[in-house]
A and B are shown apart, each in its own frame.
Chain A
Amino acid sequence: MNRRLKLVASVMLLSMLMMLLSGCWDNHELDTLFIVTGIALDKANDSEQLDISLQIGKTKSNVSDSDKSNSQQASTIQLKTTAYTMMEGLMEFNRDSSRTLLLHHNQVLLLGSALAEQGIKDHIDLFLRDHEARMEVLVMIADGRADEVLSAKLDQEKISGVFLAREMQDLYAVSPYYKIRMLDFASRLRDGTTSPIAPIVALKETDKKQEIKFNGFAVFKDGKMIGRLNNDEVLGYVWAMGNVKQCGVVTDSDLGRAVFHIINLDTERDVTLRPDGGVRVTLTVDATLNIGELRGFNGMTPKDLMPYLVDLAQNEIRRKITDTFVTAQTLNADIYGVGTSVYREYPKEWKELKNRWNELFPDTELDVQVKVHIPTTGQIVKSLEMEGSKS
């Protein structure tokens, strides 16, 4: 009798738990959600306000319908509003829509360049604080209006947010420094001396077709966009940071044009304090290249050519790195985190240097040592025009 009572009691208890544990409050059904795939922030007419635009990936069955008009439908929904803060905007969206917004799968945060120039420090608090906010969201700057980039109709991918995320994932394989996540961005904003950077994307329209182009890096200082690096300078930056896995090095000389393929490029950074109080940075670049393509170099023997090519590649890498460094110094933006390197190397001296960093960085000396190895020449040993190929 007692045993049976116990059994009944435990079954009742368990079923009660079952009901309670399933979570009456936090159930999210797919058909009640709007999955946000991209957020664009723009400067509004009123400079205190923000133009907020959300891209929502539509849940849609993959089964091809006989009804053709179905495929013509847009695969995203765009919500737009203007508000003082991001949260107010989200509240408005939630009030005016039939479903709940889900930010977990947000791929990208696009900031319009006008807003970036005005300053963004005040606008990203939500992206760090909200419980749905993820530090892996990509931060990008849109040339012009961010909502236009977000609403681009692309051939390659139906959802532009996903397109941007995949593009960045590919670039990440080239160098991790291409991909700027919220974590990296916020970390630099908080750092004090290191300038945050973010990739710029631009919308390009050519006869009814819309494309998104990668257009260099935006450089920030004190939370404001103060300048940009063009695509060439971005290469110089990425090479200076090291850990590059695949990328091209284009060189041009009197004898011909050679394009190299980077197999591995590593950069070691060494900072020292100069006797006169300034800072010297030594970058030791160690690169393993592959010959990608050669044009010209008529009449050279392979034996002469290799040292010549090594020299050519070394000079090109050094030139790009130096060029970018000069640009950064002109902007007075420490995009490399040289200050942080000094802090890590000389924590005591840094306390004093930190306050003068704005004067010190433009005065920093750069020394680039490049060592290039070219172990293989590709599938052919000689090119058609080279000396010795005719014999």
Chain B
Amino acid sequence: MRIDKGQISGTQFMFSVACFIQASAPLTTFISAVTLQDSWLVLLFGAVLCLPLIWLYRTLMVMFPEQNLLQILVEVYGPVVGKVIGVAYIWFFFTLASLNLTDLGKFTKLTIMQETPNVVLVLMCVLVSALAVRNGIKLVTKYSTLFTIITFILLSIGTILMLNQIKLENFMPMFDQPVGKYVQGIHIISTIPFGELVVFLMIHPYVKLSRRDATKYLFLGFGLGVITILVILLLNIGVLGNLLGMFTLPTLVTLRLVNLGMALSRMEILFAVILVMLLFFKITLLYYVSVLATAQLFKVKAYRQLALAAGALLIAYGLTLYPSLVEQAASAQEIVPFLWTPFEILIPLLTFFIAKLRKLPNAKEA
């Protein structure tokens, strides 16, 4: 039944989760533009509120250790409804991959390569990603450890160099904005970086995990990711103060300000490295998951053949998604969180309850 024969270890799974969440760290505007100096609090609240959600994913992983999300859906809702929801999920994965690809193109263009056409940047990324996707889950997740560690190192360097420019008073006043903003902020933070972890329900059958390990690695990875975003947010708020909401890429502006004795300055290349690296990982994983899901749905044995075609589609889709960055940011703040909620929270929750009611995994064995 399994299309990809590869297997990954628990640590790799953990770092994949961490890296996946970290990928949202360079692009903190989606949250910092909404709740400004309280963003870090919102992040922490969001993370705590998401723990039950992660627990839900974990429970589904343990309940169906041999089946991925699409198979679970078919099992729980029956072949017809299950497949319809499956198609919706494929669209979800595909859109996510495409959105991240657009981000990569646009922000690389904004940070280091202003004159290079978007298509070229995106194409390069997809070509390398396709190579990984064709080789299966093992290669897709292989570099997550390295990426996570590099991110941590570069981030620590950046943070240490910026320490002298952090103004603590920029964090004041706390809780000054209307309650609605906080609710919106928490909703955004739980659906955009955290809830996207639902994609790991597609790859958990490849992980050699026991019940305890699943919990441990999933939460550890989640924790590592949250810490990264937290550090970046704190840094941006402390340095930029009331200008935080003005910039497209606050982290880039922050790192550009590094100035230690006139010698150590112009560190924004660090940002570009982190950005490209992490987004590449996230895109590859999402790309892999969408290809895998498609192959499974249509019972294609050789999913490898789909990789390049899907890549071409990703590029085309990404280019037509949003007319401009402004609209993309607005939609990320206002529309996307609502659009993602069913995929990330409602359907997994419903699946869990129905599975419990029908005593599904056990009934099958009995």
Interface residues of A (CB under 8 A from B): 17, 20-21, 23-26, 104, 128, 131, 134-136, 169, 181, 183, 186-187, 190-191, 341, 343-345, 347
Enumerate the 4 nearest inter-chain pairs by beta-carbon distance, A residue then B residue, closest first: A344-B172, A25-B115, A347-B173, A347-B176
Residues of A within 8 A of B240 (CB): 183, 187
Residues of B within 8 A of A343 (CB): 173
B256:A136 contact, CB within 8 angstroms: yes
Residues of B within 8 A of A17 (CB): 124
Contact (A26, B116) CB under 8 Å given A136-B259, A347-B173: yes
A344:B169 contact, CB within 8 angstroms: yes
Enumerate B225-269 residues with CB–CB distance to A below 8 Å: 240-243, 246, 253, 256-257, 259, 262, 265-266
Residues of B within 8 A of A24 (CB): 116
Interface residues of B (CB under 8 A from A): 110-117, 120, 124, 169, 172-173, 176, 240-243, 246, 253, 256-257, 259, 262, 265-266
A187:B241 contact, CB within 8 angstroms: yes
Q: Closest CB-CB distance, B23 to chain A, in whole Å?
A: 21
Residues of B within 8 A of A181 (CB): 257
B243:A190 contact, CB within 8 angstroms: yes
Residues of A within 8 A of B242 (CB): 187, 190-191
Q: Closest CB-CB distance, B228 to chain A, in whole Å?
A: 23
Distance, CA A57 to CA B120, complexed state (A): 34
Known A-B contacts: A134-B256, A343-B173. Give 16 more (CB < 8 A).
A17-B124, A20-B124, A23-B113, A25-B113, A25-B115, A135-B257, A136-B256, A136-B259, A183-B240, A183-B243, A187-B240, A187-B243, A341-B169, A344-B172, A345-B172, A347-B173
Residues of B within 8 A of A136 (CB): 256-257, 259, 265
Counting residue pairs across A and B whose Cβ atoms lie within 8 Å, the total is: 56
A–B pairs, 18, beta carbons within 8 Å: A17-B124, A23-B116, A24-B116, A25-B113, A25-B117, A25-B120, A26-B113, A26-B115, A128-B246, A134-B257, A136-B259, A183-B243, A183-B257, A186-B243, A187-B240, A187-B241, A190-B246, A344-B172
Question: Closest residue of chain A to B176, judged by CB?
Answer: A347
Q: Closest CB-CB distance, B260 to chain A, in whole Å?
A: 11
B253:A21 contact, CB within 8 angstroms: no
Distance, CA A104 to CA B253, complexed state (A): 13
A135:B169 contact, CB within 8 angstroms: no
Residues of B within 8 A of A104 (CB): 266
Residues of A within 8 A of B176 (CB): 347
Q: Closest CB-CB distance, A368 to chain B, in whole Å?
A: 20
A135:B116 contact, CB within 8 angstroms: no
Question: Closest residue of chain A to B111, judged by CB?
Answer: A131
Residues of B within 8 A of A183 (CB): 240, 243, 253, 257
Q: Closest CB-CB distance, B67 to chain A, in whole Å?
A: 35
Question: Closest residue of chain A to B245, judged by CB?
Answer: A190
Distance, CA A6 to CA B207, complexed state (A): 30
Distance, CA A191 to CA B169, complexed state (A): 14
Q: Closest CB-CB distance, B51 to chain A, in whole Å?
A: 30
Distance, CA A201 to CA B265, complexed state (A): 25
Distance, CA A19 to CA B115, complexed state (A): 16
Residues of A within 8 A of B115 (CB): 25-26
Tell me which of B110, B112, B172 contacts A26 (CB under 8 A).
B112
Q: Closest CB-CB distance, A94 to chain B, in whole Å?
A: 13
Q: Closest CB-CB distance, B307 to chain A, in whole Å?
A: 15
Residues of A within 8 A of B111 (CB): 131
Residues of A within 8 A of B169 (CB): 341, 344
Distance, CA A176 to CA B163, complexed state (A): 14
Distance, CA A169 to CA B173, complexed state (A): 31
Distance, CA A122 to CA B103, complexed state (A): 30
Question: Closest residue of chain A to B113, judged by CB?
Answer: A26
Distance, CA A20 to CA B262, complexed state (A): 34
Contact (A169, B262) CB under 8 Å given A183-B257, A187-B243: yes
Residues of A within 8 A of B246 (CB): 128, 186, 190
